[in-house]
């Protein structure tokens, strides 16, 4: 069926973007399609995939070089890596442009689908149009949380080649309005139509289930409202949250919205981590961050063996030439101690030998510089779990992309209740969120319940308000593993984990970069943005176009 789906999609893409004739005039064609066989359903798969699984070039540069590492989930900079782990903390226009060009270019994909389904269009279908509004909202929430001010209200207007940049506050309000419109259109409907007008499996987010789409929209609305809460000039977040809490959200019955990978499309159009891991030699070697591993280990989190692989371990030799080298070695040994690693160390003259037992989960510290890189032995640290790095096209499961989780819906409700906006018992909501978060990774019910009943990390019945909010933030950060965009936003919005948000200062160990050690608050606009004369006004209003400029939601 997927082969048929992609074939039809390719043919229809040709007709839509290469021909100017009316579809009503097409009775047959040499591929054997009749007008009654055509539907906008064949145009939804591509913009869905492109938003969460772009081609390998963007996947490598936007995900791995930037957000996954800002999130503290993955690290570069081992002795076999092409780069130190400071990559991305020092501005590089080529890498930044790859992320910018992908996201700026994506607008045409979603606009194309909405133009096909809007009132009066060739494939007019208000339910599919509503899906387009929600996809546009998912896109803009990700896009603005990366860069800040963007062309929004004037984007896509015919003849306007220089749309204004809207404030993040106004983009958030626009997203909320679009989500409300989409939910109103969907109403009680369950499908987009019958026969060829039912998007069915071509919808790789919700399988054509409109009520799940509605819950997705409302959960995104809650996320945006909670993120905006307390930002300068916020005059809508509280009412948005209250409205969202009064309508069904993603929950245990609906499950999360996850996008399964499609082997047919291929890595150059829709990539996965495994494509980089196996096909980008040297560059495709990275470790799991120490902050993440230690959080999982310290709380006996059953997701640990899925998120990460045990370190190979072995004997590692270090030649110390000066006091700086000794400080670096002391730092690495201290990181082993913090991880609770079992190892021995012996020193003879200026040679230190460390033996690390195999099979341990040991994370690599984040943001290490080029001076310490030769001492960062890749076999000393945990690689991502096999599910994450599974090569495409081998018939084995590949992790799905996270669109939005039911776990986050529960975590946001728990946070709202703690802040006096929502109702419900915070602990019950929090525990339900943990259950949903672990179900994504097929953790057994028994392991889930043991974690909830025994770990302080799963208990917000006691402690100060800040301590409770920290636990919720950490669980949101954990459930966003492989979704670095959202995990990075959680760190910037909440300040947790503090080990990441506080930045770094020791230049002997860390790469301070153009940020001078600060935690990255945004990505710089791509080079193409400056061709719009409104770019200057955006920078004037938002702040200098650098990675350290805080975005509206994080101020």
**Residue position matching structure tokens 């002391």:** 330
Tokens for 112? 């194309």
SS3 288: strand
Q: How high is the pLDDT of residue 264? A: 67
Helices (H), 229-272: 237-245
For strands 287-288 and 257-259, give the pairing: unpaired
Give me Rg for the CA atoms of the chain. 24
Q: What are phi and psi of 251, to 5 degrees?
A: -150, -170
Determine contact, residues 153/174, Cβ cutoff 8 Å.
Answer: yes
Determine contact, residues 443/303, Cβ cutoff 8 Å.
Answer: yes
E strand spans, 131-236: 150-151, 165-166
Q: How high is the pLDDT of residue 37? A: 75
Q: How high is the pLDDT of residue 131? A: 98
Q: How high is the pLDDT of residue 262? A: 73
For residue 76, the number of C-alpha atoms closer than 13 Å in the C-beta half-sphere is 26
Q: Which helix (DSSP H) or strand (DSSP E) does residue 353 occupy? A: strand 351-356
Q: How high is the pLDDT of residue 105? A: 95
Q: What are phi and psi of 67, to 5 degrees?
A: -70, -35
Tokens for 464? 């100060």
> Which residues of the chain register pLDDT less than 70?
1-36, 264-266, 268, 283
For strands 351-356 and 343-348, give the pairing: antiparallel
Residues 258, 263, 267, 268, CA torsion sign:
negative
Taking every pair of C-alpha atoms in the chain, what is the biggest distance, in angstroms?
Answer: 85
Tokens for 78? 């081992």
Q: What angle do CA 265, 271, 272 make, to 5 degrees?
A: 125
For residue 167, the number of C-alpha atoms closer than 13 Å in the C-beta half-sphere is 14
Q: How high is the pLDDT of residue 23? A: 33
SS3 460: coil
Q: How high is the pLDDT of residue 7? A: 36
The 10 Å Cβ neighbour count of residue 419 is: 16
Which DSSP string corresponds to 293-347?
Answer: HHHHHHTT-TTHHHHB-----EEEEEE--SHHHHHHHHHHHHHHHHTT--EEEEE
Q: How high is the pLDDT of residue 280? A: 78
Among 102, 99, 123, 121, smallest CA distance to 44 is for: 123
Q: What is the mean pLDDT of the chain?
A: 92
Q: What angle do CA 353, 354, 360 make, to 5 degrees?
A: 165
The 10 Å Cβ neighbour count of residue 278 is: 16
423-452 pLDDT, tens digit each: 999 999 999 999 999 999 999 999 999 999
Tokens for 182? 């989409």
Long-range CB contact pairs, 455-458, < 8 A, 24+ = 455/299, 455/300, 455/301, 456/299, 457/299, 457/301, 458/299, 458/430, 458/431, 458/434
Q: Which helix (DSSP H) or strand (DSSP E) does residue 319 occupy? A: strand 314-319
347-375 pLDDT, tens digit each: 999 999 999 999 999 999 999 999 999 99
Q: How high is the pLDDT of residue 35? A: 58
């Amino acid at each position: 069926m997927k082969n048929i789906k992609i074939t039809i999609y390719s043919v229809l893409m040709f007709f839509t973007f290469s021909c100017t004739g009316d579809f009503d005039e097409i009775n047959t064609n040499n591929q054997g399609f009749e007008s009654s066989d055509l539907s906008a359903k064949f145009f939804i798969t591509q913009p869905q995939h492109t938003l969460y699984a772009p081609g390998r070039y963007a996947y490598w540069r936007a995900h791995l070089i930037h957000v996954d590492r800002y999130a503290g989930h993955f690290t570069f900079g081992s002795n076999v890596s092409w780069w130190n782990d400071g990559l991305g903390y020092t501005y590089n226009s080529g890498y930044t442009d790859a992320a910018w060009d992908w996201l700026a270019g994506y607008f045409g994909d979603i606009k194309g689908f909405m133009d096909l389904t809007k009132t009066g269009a060739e494939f007019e279908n208000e339910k599919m149009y509503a899906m387009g509004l929600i996809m546009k909202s998912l896109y803009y929430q990700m896009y603005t949380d990366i860069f800040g001010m963007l062309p929004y209200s004037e984007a896509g207007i015919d003849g306007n080649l220089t749309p204004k940049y809207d404030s993040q506050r106004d983009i958030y309000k626009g997203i909320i309005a679009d989500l409300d419109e989409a939910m109103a259109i969907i109403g009680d409907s369950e499908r987009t139509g019958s026969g060829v007008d039912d998007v069915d499996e071509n919808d790789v987010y919700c399988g054509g289930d409109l009520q799940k789409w509605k819950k997705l929209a409302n959960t995104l609305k809650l996320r945006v409202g909670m993120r905006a809460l307390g930002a300068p000039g916020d005059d809508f977040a509280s009412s948005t949250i209250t409205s969202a809490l009064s309508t069904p959200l993603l929950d245990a019955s609906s499950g999360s919205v996850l996008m399964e990978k499609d082997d047919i499309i291929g890595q150059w159009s829709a990539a996965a981590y495994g494509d980089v891991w196996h096909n980008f030699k040297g560059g495709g070697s990275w470790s799991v961050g120490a902050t993440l591993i230690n959080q999982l280990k310290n709380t006996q989190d059953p997701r640990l063996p899925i998120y990460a692989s045990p370190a190979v371990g072995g004997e590692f030799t270090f030649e110390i030439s000066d006091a700086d080298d000794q400080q670096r070695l002391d730092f690495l040994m201290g990181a082993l101690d913090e991880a609770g690693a079992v190892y021995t160390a012996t020193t003879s003259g200026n040679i230190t030998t460390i033996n690390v037992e195999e099979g341990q989960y040991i994370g690599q510290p984040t943001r290490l510089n080029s001076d310490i890189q030769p001492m960062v032995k890749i076999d000393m640290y945990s690689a991502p779990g096999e599910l994450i790095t599974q090569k495409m096209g081998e018939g084995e499961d590949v992790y799905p992309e996270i669109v939005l989780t039911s776990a986050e819906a529960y975590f946001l409700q728990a946070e709202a209740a703690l802040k006096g906006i929502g109702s419900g018992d915070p602990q019950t909501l929090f525990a339900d969120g943990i259950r949903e978060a672990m179900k994504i990774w097929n953790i057994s019910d028994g392991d889930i319940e043991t974690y909830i009943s025994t770990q302080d990390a799963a208990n917000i019945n006691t402690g100060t308000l800040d301590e409770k909010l920290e636990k919720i933030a950490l669980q949101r950060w954990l459930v966003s593993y492989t979704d670095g965009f959202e995990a990075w936003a959680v760190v910037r919005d909440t300040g947790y984990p503090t080990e990441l948000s506080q930045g770094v200062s020791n230049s002997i160990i860390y790469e301070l970069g153009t940020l001078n050690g600060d935690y990255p608050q945004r990505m710089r606009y791509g080079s193409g943005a400056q061709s719009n004369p409104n770019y200057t006004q955006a920078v004037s209003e938002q702040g200098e176009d650098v990675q350290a400029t805080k975005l509206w939601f994080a101020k």
